[in-house]
Amino acid sequence: MNDRWTDVALATAEGARSELAAVQAGLAALPVHSPARAALAARAADLRHCLAAARAVLDAYAVPAGAEEAAA
């Protein structure tokens, strides 16, 4: 296992998960027709992509699912 890459992937997942929670809270607080919703929705999609990429790295190095939550 490459500890450097798994450490980076775990940190990426932790940061993306934290920011995604904030973005989702912002989306929930905005009115439905707010122009800012599109930007926040796009950012949420980017963060989900980051989480998927981090999980792919962790899978490649055989890090068990849930390790990114345990590291947080």
Which amino acid appears at position 7 of this protein? D
pLDDT at 4: 85
In which band, very low, low, confident or very high, does the pLDDT at 5 lie, cut at 50, 70 and 90? confident
Round to whole Å and give the CA distance between 25 and 11: 21
pTM: 0.78
The residue ranking higher by pLDDT, 56 or 62, is 56
Q: Which of 18, 21, 23 is nearest to 71 (CA)?
A: 18
CB 27 within 8 A of CB 48: no
Burial group, residue 52, by CB count within 10 angstroms (0-12, 13-18, 19+): exposed
pLDDT digits (tens, 9 = 90+) for 13-45: 999 999 999 999 999 999 989 999 999 999 999
